[in-house]
Structure 1
């Protein structure tokens, strides 16, 4: 079984660029989650984010919102997701990050949630609507107790001072979204060169991952010229939602990015 904690080399842009694949738990069918997890690992991705379905995913674009709605209709819950993860935890060697909104986690009980993460082979969390001050005051020690990393997000509008502050709080990696828009927005440029150059110059303590808007190998190669890795979500979820033979297409998609 993998060690829950993970670290990547923070400023070593000569090393292999890390591919992080996001999908929403409970789609296309409720019991497909474990198959998708194994597919992502076996297709060569370096890590994965699993979205916990929520009824009001305000930071997500249309495709991932549809995925949340479908997953909830399918009956996906946090408890169900933990049960699925436990069933395959000894087979999974790459890091699993759970991503979601704070309200369902608080409803589950934060420490109970972290305990279940630890017992399910989860490496860390991304909760975009958890304020950093609340994180420092109420949650950081609990995460450390269960050996879980926590990742904060920054945008092109985030000041250098705040980027460094969020980097100091983060562990695992720092998530740099390509704009302050929602996920999957086709009207934004993912390769904001000034933004990426500035991030690369800040001597961050965590590895830097770029997300939101990466759709193909060219996008991935472009953003990882100045970052340790890239995160692909909407393009992958779209395959799961729109293709009956999603297993083959999803595997081919991941291979197309890393080969």
Structure 2
């Protein structure tokens, strides 16, 4: 059983996935940030691979990607940083990124390297479902990498069920069809969350986009298994003099 499956086996509700950008705020702070997240209550770490044109990301995460790239972060550097990560990090690790840099690195090489360092799952929002199913699924399966798809309020029931059949790990339910960090009202999406709940999907559901505090986290968790926080945490790290302390204080506002 994978680390992700183990997590959802023993924790059905209020699962907290926190996004951080690899190489941000400093090139070599990646593992420090990950350790701080694990130590202070995060259930999953979603590690963003910085890219110059991240379509699904809002201004804050885009800015963190730009800084990480300026710091010298690359996919190769990231795998080098993660080579001993499983000696300290025991919760699921998801890599989130975009197809262009992954294809430049080499998809097979990427999957092999991700597996070698102990990555559990992959999110590539711009990988079409058809291409995943017909070209890349065997590679992900061979390397025990759970592939996580995004759904939105506009995704048809038929497509959601197709994704659920293809998916493994969890389904990323985007709260609104916008970019990350937009202050859309989570509370106004209850019908959408209820619809997902009533589909009785095989995979757990985590809600992302617009989760920024205890109230939005609680609201998102009401009908789903948990939520994903990104922009609010990146903002907290922006002017941090102490990553561990900042992370502790931030997660305490969500979970405390």
TM-score by length of 2: 0.95
Q: 2:194 aligns with which of 176, 194, 197?
A: 197
Unaligned runs of 5+ in 1: none
1:21–1:48 CA contact under 8 A, matched in 2: yes
SS of residue in 1 equivalent to 2:45 = strand
Partner of 2:5: 7
Q: C-alpha distance in 1, partners of 2:242/2:109?
A: 37
Q: 1:245 aligns with which of 242, 249, 254?
A: 242
For the aligned residue pairs, the C-alpha RMSD in angstroms reads 1.7
Partner of 2:178: 181
User: For 1:66-95, what per-residue CA distance to the aligned partner results, in whole angstroms no more than 9, with x for missing partners?
Assistant: 001000000000011111111322211100
Partner of 1:72: 69
> Shift of residue 133 of structure 1?
0.2
User: Is the deviation greater in 162-171 or in 146-155?
Assistant: 162-171
Is 1:108 the counterpart of 2:120 in the alignment? no
Unaligned runs of 5+ in 2: none
Q: Any runs of at least 4 consecutive aligned residues in structure 1 with deviations exceeding 6 A, and if so which?
A: none
1:23–1:233 CA contact under 8 A, matched in 2: yes
SS of residue in 1 equivalent to 2:168 = coil
Q: C-alpha distance in 2, partners of 1:94/1:131?
A: 28
Q: C-alpha distance in 1, partners of 2:31/2:11?
A: 33
Q: C-alpha distance in 2, partners of 1:215/1:199?
A: 21
In the TM superposition, what are the counterparts of 1:1-259 in structure 2 within 5 Å? 5-7=3-5, 15-186=12-183, 188-191=184-187, 192-259=189-256
SS of residue in 2 equivalent to 1:226 = coil
> Shift of residue 4 of structure 1?
5.2
Say which structure, 1 or 2, has more relative contact order (CA 8 Å, 6+ apart): 1
1:21–1:233 CA contact under 8 A, matched in 2: yes
TM-score by length of 1: 0.94
Q: C-alpha distance in 2, partners of 1:5/1:245?
A: 29
> Shift of residue 13 of structure 1?
11
Count of residues in correspondence between the two structures: 255
Q: 1:232 to 1:196 in 2, by over 3 A?
A: same
1:13–1:228 CA contact under 8 A, matched in 2: no
Q: C-alpha distance in 1, partners of 2:145/2:60?
A: 29
User: Is the deviation greater in 169-178 or in 80-89?
Assistant: 80-89
Q: C-alpha distance in 1, partners of 2:176/2:143?
A: 32
